[in-house]
């Protein structure tokens, strides 16, 4: 049996959107599950729109989520000569022909079709015309001689059997009149030369598949298997595109979604394995299969992404979580080096209050910032009684040599008794004084996580 090879073939005309990332993920997962190879092919033949920076961004994005290609990326523009060679071969053995229609002529055909409300399909004018009739002033494009009779069956690994009439596939152009190859030609030649065995791509490529199958057949190449995965839809139910908000990877990483979480979310979007929701990378490789992919498109659900992210935050070991956090802060906030020791040891309780890295960052503000700000609303909570409580607490606290929960508890319990109040009566002013808000971590956690002199400073400032 031949070794499985899959590929992901984006064009570097913008940042990858998460639909693309999911396609890449499925391809990668399938190849790994089959102990095969995964390749990245950069389809950069659209000179106008392709940019080197996007290529790098794509590679980075894939890496971020854990996908790396086997071997160097394949650059399509470097293979153009091969594509042209095949086009000429096709021309020679009668599977393609020169089309001398002018742009105006094609436009006219399209308009006519629109008026009659019939679908436009190139009228195959030059399919059987003699070269002798060719106008001298027009450079021809090369069209593939598509089958007219019969039908073609695609045994799709996700969608099942799909059969369409051959005459609905037009004689598509494979070489433009400037001599450059078009997508369907290039993709077929590349896939063949790369020995791709399984082409897993979005549903929107289905028609291309029928065109590409004909090229394979005409060249007598072994046909790969195809799997068309349903598209990801927006909440409005339309195909997700780069223009949609919250569609690129950066949209998620900047709010503190971690790669493991997004990977897990994307995996379960349109694919399932029994009732299992959380998959380690190894588990996803182990369980991934094309049969597990659903047939209907799925919508993006932000709260689900956040919830999976929350799961990873709470269950990840704290060293890894801390690494994620520092990297996140470096990329999107301020570096937290100077405060990192306090933050790291506080992760055990900070993480329980956050769904994202940004959430942890926000909750850790009282640790990160030297000075805290108390809103005027919260300031009201610091009335005269509260201030005397703070002063009393400070007095005891300063003498404390060993700051731990037991000792703090003693002080606070005494204050509760003395002032005939409850825990809230003491805890709330303390929290406001130390964090700047009535919301925040537990009092003991706050005090222990701060340096002693910092606690003293803040209590003095507030009381």
Partner RNA sequence: GGUCCCUUCGUCUAUCGGUUAGGACACAUGGUUUUCAUCCAUGAAAGAGGGGUUCGAUUCCCCUAGGGACCGCCA
In this complex, which beta carbon is closest to RNA, that of residue 67 or of residue 173? 173
C-alpha span between 232 and 345 (Å, rounded) = 40
Among 200, 218, 249, 269, binds RNA (CB under 7 A): 269
* Closest approach of RNA to the CB of residue 291, in Å: 8
**Residue 239 near RNA by CB under 7 A:** yes
Q: Do 285 and 327 meet the contact criterion of CB atoms below 8 Å apart?
A: no
CA atoms within 13 A on the CB side of 338: 7
Among 341, 385, 439, 461, binds RNA (CB under 7 A): 439
| Unique residue bearing structure tokens 């959380």 | 278
110-147 residues labelled b (16+ CB within 10 A) or e (exposed) = eeeeeeeeeeeebebebeeeeeeeeeeeeebbbbbbbb
**Residue 98 near RNA by CB under 7 A:** no
Long-range contact pairs involving 368-377 (C-beta distance under 8 Å, separation at least 24): 368/334, 368/336, 368/339, 368/343, 372/434, 372/435, 372/436, 372/458, 373/436, 374/432, 374/433, 374/436, 374/437, 374/462, 375/436, 375/437
C-alpha span between 442 and 420 (Å, rounded) = 21
Find the binding residues for RNA in span 129-158 (CB under 7 A): 141
Among 442, 451, 460, 461, binds RNA (CB under 7 A): 442
**Residue 193 near RNA by CB under 7 A:** no
Among 34, 76, 197, 253, binds RNA (CB under 7 A): 76
**Residue 212 near RNA by CB under 7 A:** no
Among 131, 301, 337, 451, binds RNA (CB under 7 A): 301
**Residue 403 near RNA by CB under 7 A:** no
**Residue 248 near RNA by CB under 7 A:** no
**Residue 410 near RNA by CB under 7 A:** no
**Residue 416 near RNA by CB under 7 A:** no
C-alpha span between 74 and 44 (Å, rounded) = 10
Using alpha carbons only, give the angle 325, 19, 253 rounded to the nearest 5 degrees.
15
**Cα dihedral sign, 315-318-323-329:** positive
In this complex, which beta carbon is closest to RNA, that of residue 187 or of residue 329? 187
DSSP 337: G
* Closest approach of RNA to the CB of residue 350, in Å: 10
Residue 155, beta-bridge partner list? 161
Among 307, 362, 414, 463, binds RNA (CB under 7 A): 307
Among 26, 30, 38, 183, binds RNA (CB under 7 A): 183
**Residue 107 near RNA by CB under 7 A:** no
Among 280, 294, 335, 391, binds RNA (CB under 7 A): 294
Residues 312-351: x where in contact with RNA by CB under 7 A, - otherwise, as a string: --x-------------------------------------
**What Cα–Cα distance (Å) separates residue 359 from each residue in 350, 353, 435, 439, 455?**
9, 8, 15, 13, 23
**Residue 205 near RNA by CB under 7 A:** yes
* Closest approach of RNA to the CB of residue 3, in Å: 25
Looking only at the bridges linking them, the beta strands covering 232-233 and 298-299 are: parallel
In this complex, which beta carbon is closest to RNA, that of residue 173 or of residue 347? 173
Q: Measuring CA to CA, which residue among 142, 140, 230, 126 is closest to residue 184?
A: 142
**Residue 233 near RNA by CB under 7 A:** yes
Find the binding residues for RNA in span 28-67 (CB under 7 A): 43, 45-46, 49
């Amino acid at each position: 049996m031949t070794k499985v090879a899959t590929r992901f073939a984006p064009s570097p005309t913008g940042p990858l959107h998460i639909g693309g990332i999911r396609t890449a993920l499925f391809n990668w997962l399938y190849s790994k599950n089959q102990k095969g190879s995964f390749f990245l092919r950069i389809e950069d033949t659209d000179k106008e729109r392709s940019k080197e920076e996007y290529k790098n961004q794509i590679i980075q994005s894939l890496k971020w989520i854990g996908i790396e290609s086997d071997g160097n990326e394949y650059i399509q523009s470097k293979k153009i000569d091969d594509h042209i060679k095949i086009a000429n071969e096709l021309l020679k053995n009668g599977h393609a022909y020169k089309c001398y229609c002018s742009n105006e002529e094609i436009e006219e055909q399209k308009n006519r079709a629109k008026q009659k409300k019939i679908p436009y399909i190139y009228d195959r004018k030059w399919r059987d015309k003699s070269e002798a009739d060719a106008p001298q002033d027009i450079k021809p494009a090369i069209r593939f001689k598509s089958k007219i009779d019969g039908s073609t069956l695609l045994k799709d690994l996700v969608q099942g059997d799909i059969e369409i009439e051959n005459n609905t596939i037009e004689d598509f152009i494979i070489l433009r009149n400037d001599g450059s190859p078009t997508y369907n030609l290039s993709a077929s030649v590349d896939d063949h030369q790369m020995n791709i065995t399984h082409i897993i791509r979005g549903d929107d490529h289905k028609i291309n598949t029928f065109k590409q199958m004909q090229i394979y057949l005409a060249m007598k190449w072994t046909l790969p298997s195809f799997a068309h995965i349903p598209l990801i839809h927006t909440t409005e139910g339309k195909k997700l595109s780069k223009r949609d908000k919250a569609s690129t990877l950066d949209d998620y990483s900047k709010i503190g979604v971690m790669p493991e979480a997004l990977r897990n979310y994307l995996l379960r979007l349109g694919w399932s394995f029994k009732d299992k929701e959380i998959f380690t990378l190894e588990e996803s490789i182990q369980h991934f299969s094309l049969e597990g992919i659903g047939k209907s498109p799925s919508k993006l659900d932000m709260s689900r992404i956040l919830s999976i992210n929350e799961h990873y935050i709470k269950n990840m070991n704290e060293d890894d979580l801390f690494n994620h956090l520092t990297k996140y802060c470096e990329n999107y906030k301020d570096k937290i080096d100077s405060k990192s020791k306090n933050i790291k040891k506080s992760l055990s309780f900070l993480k329980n209050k956050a769904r994202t890295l940004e959430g942890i960052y926000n909750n850790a503000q009282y640790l990160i910032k030297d000075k805290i700000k108390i809103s005027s609303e919260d300031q009201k909570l610091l009335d005269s009684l509260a201030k005397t409580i703070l002063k009393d607490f400070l007095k005891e606290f300063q003498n404390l040599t060993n700051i731990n929960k037991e000792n703090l508890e003693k002080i606070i319990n005494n204050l509760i008794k003395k002032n005939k109040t409850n825990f809230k009566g003491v805890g709330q002013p303390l929290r406001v004084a130390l964090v700047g808000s009535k919301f925040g971590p537990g009092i003991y956690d706050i005090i222990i996580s701060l340096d002693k002199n910092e606690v003293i400073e803040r209590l003095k400032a507030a009381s």
